[in-house]
Chain A
Amino acid sequence: MKSKEELIQDFLDDSLTEEDKPLFDHYWETDADFKEQLELQQEIHRALENRILSDSEGLREKLNEVEVAFRSGGQKNKPIIRKLLPILAAACVLIGATLFLLPGKDSLFELPQMRSEIVRGQSDTNFGTASQRYEEAVNAFNEGLYTQSTNLLRDLQAESPEILQYQYYLGLSLIGEKKFGEAENQLVGLASGESVFKNDSMYFVAIALYEQGKISEALIQAYLIPENSTVYPQAQMLIKELNRAK
């Protein structure tokens, strides 16, 4: 036999069977608590249907967006000079960057600082040793001791050829040693690959080619560097330099 609660839900869901109707009617007529429960459940059903089927989440998203904008728009009452100050500051930074940070001719051939960081992928057994040697290579490279950094990076590359960071910095270290042909060989694979070193490698391949007198090939490499690359401004300066050298 169904419970009172089940009969109430069946009634509210319009699924009360013919078999259960007499029992439902009996409770309705004789049991005040049953009636009270039914009326309460009717209210609950109405409330749940109104809310669960409503699109208040869509409204909340809009309210949240408007609130964020409203709360952050507190600048509207500030004096105009205070509103303009951030713009003026940004303009000064931009002018400063233009005057001081865009590459001059000498900086075209400057090597970047080698990053001191843990190299991923190193096996656990060699980790400590390789990490130490990498740090030694970083120190030597950044101090301009390119012969030393080249030797360290060659060993590291031989042990872990899959770590492209070794290959990249070895290429740069060879440029530092003025071994431009070898540097080109190290970097050309990275320049045509898809790693994070791609664009920077293209730039230094162009440098290595220029230093070997291969101006036209250097120009091709420089032209291929995409606009969204961090070395694009340098590449444009290099192209001007290369066109002068032709």
Chain B
Amino acid sequence: MHIDQKYIHFLLHHDQRGIQQIYSQYGQKVVGLICNNSGTEDDGYDILQESLVDIYHMAKDRDFQLTTSFQSFLFLVSKRKWLNELKKRQRQGVTNADDYVFDIEDDSAGELEAHLQMVEKENLVLEVLGTLGERCQEIIRRCMGDKNQEQIAASLGVSYAYLRKKKSECMASLGNKLRLHPVFNPDSELK
């Protein structure tokens, strides 16, 4: 286990002092990384926070072990997030991501690659969920959070059969949207 595993512990336990340590040791570096690659200071802090949340989600997997320094891993996660953000902005016509080259070597994530990909997929699922109708979002969130779907149906004022049918339609819609994304379907191209 790497000595920096303690930072993972801080995130898992929402340890305020530990999180302060992370910010004071690595905050400016991550923000600097983003600013040196066409981001603003606000972009830098957003990426830092989202990266720490991603690391938290990875760390909840019992198999997760930090095998490199926390700084290297945080930089890797932050860089990938920023590159994805630049690509998104490129699709929106805001910028040209290909023009930007990070000045840090893109070290292979190695053993942590699987965790990184898992978190990226989860982030995408939530993002696409947010594009569904309000009713679908509510049904999906509640059904995932509570296994007693008869109770959920009653609280929504619908029959259990209706809820099951509606949920399957919403999940199919979510699936169809995700199938169009390269993260879930490498053969597809995002327009």
Contact = CB atoms under 8 A, between A and B. Distances in A.
B144 interface: yes
A40 interface: yes
B14 A62 contact: yes
Given A52-B144, A59-B11, A66-B23, A41 B60 contact: no
B140 A40 contact: no
B23 A5 contact: no
22 contacts: A5-B171, A5-B172, A6-B164, A9-B168, A9-B171, A13-B147, A13-B149, A40-B179, A41-B171, A44-B175, A47-B125, A55-B14, A56-B56, A59-B11, A60-B49, A63-B52, A65-B16, A66-B19, A66-B23, A67-B48, A70-B23, A70-B27
Nearest to B185: A40
Contact of B121 (A43, A45, A67): A43
Interface of A: 3, 5-6, 8-10, 13, 37, 40-41, 43-45, 47-56, 58-60, 62-67, 69-71
Interface residues of B, number: 40
Nearest to B172: A5
A15 B112 CA distance: 35
Interface in B163-191: 164-165, 167-169, 171-172, 174-175, 178-179, 184
Contacts of B129: 48
B50 to A, nearest CB: 9
A135 B33 CA distance: 62
Contacts of B172: 5, 37
Contact of A51 (B23, B48, B122, B149): B122
Contact of A58 (B14, B145, B167, B175): B14
A5 B179 contact: no
B133 to A, nearest CB: 16
A71 B23 CA distance: 10
Interface in B123-164: 125-126, 129, 140-141, 143-145, 147, 149, 164
Contacts of B164: 6, 9-10
Contacts of A47: 121-122, 125-126
B20 interface: yes
B73 interface: no
Contacts of A66: 16, 19-20, 23
B53 interface: yes
Contact of A37 (B20, B125, B175): B175
Contacts, number: 93
Contacts of A64: 49
Nearest to A73: B24
B168 A5 contact: yes
Given A51-B126, A66-B20, A67-B49, A44 B174 contact: yes
A59 to B, nearest CB: 5
Contact of B45 (A9, A13, A62, A71): A71
A52 B122 contact: no
Contacts of B11: 59
Interface string B2-45: 00000000010010100110011001000000000000000001
B57 interface: yes
Nearest to A45: B144
Contacts of B45: 67, 71
Contact of B14 (A3, A37, A59): A59
Contacts of B169: 5
Nearest to B140: A48
A44 B164 CA distance: 17
Contacts of B144: 45, 48-49, 52-53
A32 to B, nearest CB: 14
Nearest to A55: B14
B19 A62 contact: yes
A224 B157 CA distance: 59
Contacts of A6: 164-165, 168
